[in-house]
Amino acid sequence: MSAIPPPFPLTYEALVRRALREDLGRAGDLTTDALIADRHVEARIVVREAGRVAGLPVAAAAFRLLDATVAFEACTSEGCDVAPGTTLARLRGPARPILAAERTALNFLGRLCGIATATARAVAAVQGTRARIACTRKTTPGLRALEKYAVRLGGGANHRFGLDDGVLIKDNHLRLAGSLAAAVERVRLRVGHMVKIEVEVDSLEQLRQAAALGVDAVLLDNFGVAELREAVRLAEGKVLLEASGGITLEDVAQVAATGVHVISLGWLTHSAPALDVALEVT
């Protein structure tokens, strides 16, 4: 059982409503409306491949927002690992909203389970090291909060949620702002006391400078494994180290073994394949 609380419905219901309207269009579900009058049905949502569950409250919202009388009973918990064929939820209620909301619910569920599953695999791969797996801002436009929640369910950590909840000085900034020292000093004068400062570096020399400036974290961009090991040695106890850039599920364990604190993976959110989920009228 996961103890990670889901986002409040208030924060995602507008998104689900837009998705339902996107699928219903102006004329609604032509097929169901023509064929099925007032039938009540039972149905279940099953997963067809192994994975980590994420998104059941969002899927439930899709049915509830179309018709509040649809009963949605989750059969697993968010954050659980499930085998192929597992029933994730049971539905009972009028056939019309259940069939009309089906695709919208599954589109959310498949995507969020996909992200949680991908994250869980990366987390499993680094088990035994101190490295935390983190996601990035490379998320689906409009779905960031939900996708970052799926990452948490996968056992991963969240990096910044946006440009406004942390400072990350990148190469483009340095090119325009001059020296690292000047940049860090300037940022400190400007941001409030609750904002952390991370610096992206592409050499050990830059790492040394950053550590000396007392920043909160350093992002090691596209460092090889040997370089990462050296970075860890250099920075130990001085600054948190994040490895990033082109790290795959295959080499994440090796990267973690270098001793970095955080490994951030863009593909958790931008390229994780959807998990195969389906609704079956029973």
List, by residue number, the catalytic residues.
103, 138, 170, 200, 221
Q: State the Rg of the chain over Cα.
A: 22
Closest contact distance (angstroms) between CB of 278 and its own copies is 10
Residue pointed to by tokens 């690992």: 81
- Judged by phi (left if over 0) then psi (alpha if -120 to 50, else beta), residue 128 lies in left
Question: Sheet harboring 132-134: ordered strands across?
Answer: 132-134, 262-264, 240-244, 217-221, 197-201, 167-169
* Cβ–Cβ < 8 Å for 235, 254: no
**β-pairing verdict for 71-74 and 87-94:** antiparallel
Closest contact distance (angstroms) between CB of 23 and its own copies is 5
Strand partners, 93: 41
Sequence length of the chain is: 282
Closest contact distance (angstroms) between CB of 225 and its own copies is 21
Q: Which is nearer to its own copies, 226 or 275 (CB)?
A: 275
Closest contact distance (angstroms) between CB of 261 and its own copies is 7
Expressed in angstroms, the distance from the first to the final Cα of the chain is: 27
Closest of 84, 88, 41, 14 to residue 281, by C-alpha: 41
Tokens in use for 103?
């695709």
Q: How far apart are CA 103 and CA 182, in angstroms?
A: 52
Q: Which is nearer to its own copies, 7 or 85 (CB)?
A: 7
Q: Which is nearer to its own copies, 26 or 226 (CB)?
A: 26
Closest contact distance (angstroms) between CB of 165 and its own copies is 4
Q: Which is nearer to its own copies, 65 or 252 (CB)?
A: 65
Q: How far apart are CA 3 and CA 153, in angstroms?
A: 9
Q: Which is nearer to its own copies, 78 or 242 (CB)?
A: 242
